[in-house]
Structure 1
Amino acid sequence: MIFFGLAFMAPHTLFATYGIVAVESNGMIATGYIIALFVMLFTAYSYAQLVKAFPSAGAAYTFVQKAINPYLGFLVGWVILLDYMLSPMISALLLGIALSAFFPSIPIFIWIVLFVLIISIVNIRGVKFAANFNTYVFLLQLLVFVLFFIFSVKYLLNGGGSGKLLSINPFINQNVDLSTLITVIPILCFTFLGFDAITALSEETKNPKQTLPKAIYAIPLIGGLLYVVSSYLLEMVHPNIQTFVNPDSAYLEIANIIGGLFLQSTFVAVALTAGFASAVASGSSASRILYAMGRENILPKRIFGYLSPKFHTPVYNILIVGLVAMFALIFDLALATSFITFGAFFAFCFVNISVIVHYFVKGKKRTLQGTFRYLVIPLVGAILIFSLLVNMEINALILGGIWFAIGFLYLLIQTRLFKSPPPTMFEGKESINREVV
């Protein structure tokens, strides 16, 4: 479960987003990751409590639906669709940036279009190796971290970069405004997204009430340790952040400085492999969720509930996901990541609130210990996440708000102004996967 969650979280994303957040905040990214980890652990706590009460597939959607209200659960599930639909776009954008920096003579749009076409064709034909392949991709990412640590330490010991191995500047720097650092925390939190994904595998996990909570805590802690150490070394080997040629591909500049073409090529190769595996997996999941909604007539069945008689895959849905991924041609990395983070933060807020409603309000666990565990901790988590949500990039809030409004109007129509039960979204997902894969 830990390996699956870390593979889904894709720790290599740290390198892809480093240049953007470093330039926007002027440094102290290691401290930023400590803050982001602190925030994420509150939500991890809430996921751990709820998976004990509801060990079933559906994750945040199921938790909110069963703990609070089915209508609100539908809206949370609707907003979560943003993450599934846009994840292939992020993969396409990250891969395009990496390959464009490595092959500057070839325009980025060529890489993006080619990448989207490949993952669409692969998903149409049907893929069974993606889940296992992701584990091996994660091991490759760990190898990149190890190589990066070795080359960075060697570079610093030889007098490169800041010329020393130990410094407090990546953690405490008077030249960095803390309020400015806080503004990039949502992007840093983006690299933690995925630790919650293992809750969707509750029905396939042995003894989930004990296994999953341990894994839910371990995944962000392991990822956070990698992020803090890596961001510390990144700033130490390249302390002059403002001199990056291109912040989007700053990690490749640093890799070339400390490890030459070998390390830079390794970074690109792993980015290519990780991007492909992530896009295939997320694109496959998104298309099958759309298929589930089409099969149940939540969305028009003729399009979204269609299966190819030849490939037995939801071809139309895969093509729709591919078209959405093409938005990588017009989105920049900061906006794209913040848009996905909007969906996650929205769900995280209600996951924290679900703990309060289920245990403290309905379960009446109101002893001193119960109040602390089921009111104080999740309430702090909800407040922290909400404060980050409302301070996100304005365009992400606008786009996310529009998507929420569409879901709300759709819910009103489907339920005849809340007079009938809301449509179910992720029920029977396991049987759906067996049917279409």
Structure 2
Amino acid sequence: MSEMKKTLTLSQVVLFGLAYMTPIIVLGTFGVLAVVTQGAVAGAYLAALVAMLFTAHSYGRMAAAYPVAGSAYAYVRHAIDDRLGFLAGWAILLDYLFLPMVIWLIGAAYLNSAFPSIPTALWLLAFIGVTTMINVLGLKLASLINSAMMLIQMLVLVAFVGLSVHYILGDPTQPLFSLAPFLGTDNGSLPVLMAGAAVACYSFLGFDAVTTLTEETRDPQRTLPRAILLITLLGGLIFIVVSYCVQLAAPGFDFANPDAAAYTIARNIGGDLFVSIFLIGLVVGQFASGIAAQASGARLIYAMGRDDVLPRRWLGTLGRYGTPLGGLILSALVALLALTMDVLSAASFINFGAFLAFALVNLAVVFHYYLKEGRRGPGDTLRFLVCPAIGLGAIVWLLFSLDHRAIMLGSIWLLAGLGWLVWLTRGFRRPTPELHIDA
């Protein structure tokens, strides 16, 4: 196989990462976060950003040490232990397998608010069916319009912020500068804020996706660490600014339907015309994100099937159109669980897998640089022990700030992965199967 051309620059990698994060998601989850934080959505995003920056630093360090695809799975396997690496891969699988479900659920909730006579379940089934069909046939058309979809998202976000500010200025009793969006009605209660931050981290998922571009990036050892930090910082600033303005325009957290609160807010600040534009932007963003998430998840499932980590017969072969049919069908079937879940529960469940992978990557930095390479000078101790330790502590705190149902379901998923590993290795008497993820 010929090597991929290293053509991507820092700015191109950053744009890819931001597009993968889907910035408009800050509006999609606004109502849920407002309820959890009691009106401190901007504060939750600020806390999440601080925690994620330390983890982004760790991802950057490991991307420099191991410039290969596979992200957390590869880093933990090489730096710590192959069995722990398998569990990191299992945690990643949770994200990839269930992320499309959350994306489609958010889109369905907003369409139901616009067209209440059509049940959310029908919108959800439509998202699943159409997206799966496109992914089965291939992604050429989706790739062509992806940039346009990103542009639509950013224009809607800018318009939403602009109309929010205009709405605030039109109310003489409402100041433009306030700490309320950061403190909420509970004056900044730390447990409440961290519970919100645990959910807000959902919006950051995908900041590490640029590690899959290693073989196509110029000087990846330097470019990827910088890109990961920039993506996290820029994404976090977008989330904070947007949520701050929207929270001022809609103070409090009393929404008839928190899952689709931004729809009501859009009508209040911009009228019927803007609410239609907002809905189009949100649905376009969710649709594009759903296509990418399902395609990525199916690719990981196919890779695991091809390497006999999952059943090869059903999941390790390609379909008629050269796409991973088994993984796509599995993803669609898993998404049907959304018929019995709300956005908060689904997003929290996804975050359990992400937090587990994030924690292991922070730990991998300590093992690789501080323990194995013995880099223990003052600067190195700060970079390779203190920073990842802070990142690990923050992620563990966020993990235990998730709601109890998410922790329970996530623990069941983790135990299932451990049981599967024991079976694959015949009680650890065989080598741990290695997953090859092509960039």
- Give the TM-score normalised by structure 1: 0.94
> What are the Cα deviations for residues 156-203 of structure 1, in whole angstroms up to 9, with x where unaligned?
22227x533222222345643332222121111111111111112212
> In the alignment, which residue of structure 1 is the partner of 2:247?
235
The amino acid across from 2:202 in the alignment is: F
Cα 1:241–1:395 shift into 2, 3 Å: closer
Q: Aligned letter for 1:112? A: L
Structure 1 residue aligned with 2:177? 166
- 1:318 matched residue in structure 2: 328
The aligned residue for residue 217 of structure 1 is 229
1:61 paired residue number: 73
Alignment-mate amino acid for residue 438 of structure 2: K
Secondary structure at 2:180 match in 1? coil
CA contact (8 A) 1:11 1:223 kept: yes
Q: Does 1:184 align with 2:193?
A: no
Match of 2:360 among 350, 370, 378: 350
Instruction: Go from structure 1 to structure 2 and tell me whether the alpha carbon gap of 1:322 and 1:31 turns closer, same or farther (over 3 Å shift).
Output: same
CA drift at 1:398: 1.4
Report SS of the residue matched to 1:52.
helix
Tell me which moved more, 273-282 or 45-54: 273-282
- CA distance in 2 between counterparts of 1:209 and 1:131 reads 27
Matched, 1:423 2:433: yes
2:383 equivalent among 373, 382, 396: 373
CA distance in 2, matches of 1:182, 1:317: 35
Task: Say which of 102, 115, 125 aligns to 2:127.
Answer: 115
Out of 294, 310, 334, the residue aligned to residue 299 of structure 1 is 310
| 1:358 positional shift | 0.3
2:423 aligned with 1:413: yes
Q: Which runs of 5+ in 2 are unaligned?
A: 1-12
Of residues 291-300 and 15-24 in structure 1, the stretch that sits farther from structure 2 once superposed is: 291-300
Q: Does 1:284 align with 2:292?
A: no
Aligned length: 426
Deviations along 1:133-164, one digit per CA (max 9) or x if unpaired, are 4333222221111101211121122227x533
Kept in 2: contact 1:198–1:212 (CA 8 A) = yes
Partner of 2:278: 267
| Worse-matched range after superposition: 245-254 or 310-319 | 310-319
- Which SS does the other structure have where 1:396 is aligned? helix
Confirm whether residue 128 of structure 1 aligns to residue 140 of structure 2. Answer: yes
**Counterpart contact for 1:3–1:135, Cα < 8 Å:** no
Q: Deviations over 1:89-110 (max 9, x none)?
A: 0121011011000111111111
Between 1:255-264 and 1:336-345, the stretch displaced more is 255-264
In structure 1, the gaps of 5 or more residues are 431-437
| Alignment partners' CA distance in 1, 2:413 and 2:146 | 30
TM (norm. structure 2) is 0.93
Measured after TM superposition, the shift of residue 131 of structure 1 is 4.5
Question: What is the DSSP-based 3-state SS (H/G/I as helix, E as strand, rest coil) of the residue aligned with 2:29?
Answer: helix
For residues 49-101 of structure 1, give each alpha carbon's deviation from its aligned partner in whole angstroms, at most 9, with x where no partner exists. 11111111001111101111111111100111011111110121011011000
What letter corresponds to residue 126 of structure 2 in structure 1?
L
- The answer as to whether partners of 1:6 and 1:138 remain within 8 angstroms in 2 is no
Asked if structure 2 preserves the Cα contact closer than 8 Å seen for 1:134 and 1:278, the reply is no
Instruction: Report the CA distance between 1:47 and its aligned residue.
Output: 0.7
Cα deviation for residue 305 of structure 1 reads 2.0
Aligned partner of 2:219 in structure 1 is 207
The secondary structure found in structure 2 opposite 1:56 is coil
Tell me which of 148, 159, 175 is aligned to 1:147: 159
Q: Provide the rounded CA distance (Å) in 2 between the counterparts of 1:78 and 1:28.
A: 33
Superposed CA deviations along residues 192-241 of structure 1, whole A, max 9, x for unmatched, are: 11111111221221111111111111111111111111111112111243
Q: Distance in 1 between matches of 2:331 and 2:354?
A: 19
Query: Is the CA contact (8 Å cut-off) linking 2:20 and 2:209 kept in structure 1?
Result: yes
Separation (CA, whole Å) in 2 of partners of 1:428 and 1:350: 19
Separation in 2, partners of 1:132, 1:345: 33
Contact persistence 1:88–1:325 (CA under 8 A): yes
Contact residue 34 and residue 252 of structure 2 kept, 8 A: no
Distance in 1 separating the partners of 2:186 and 2:352: 30
Deviation sequence 1:256-303 (CA, Å, 0-9, x none)? 011112221122111211111111111112222222222222222221
Counterpart in 2 of 1:435? Answer: none
Matched-pair contact (CA < 8 Å) for 2:375–2:381: yes
Is 1:248 the counterpart of 2:259 in the alignment?
Answer: yes
Contact 1:144 1:267 in 2 (8 A): yes
**Residues 15-62 of structure 1: CA deviation (Å, up to 9, x unaligned):** 111111212221122122111110000001101111111111001111
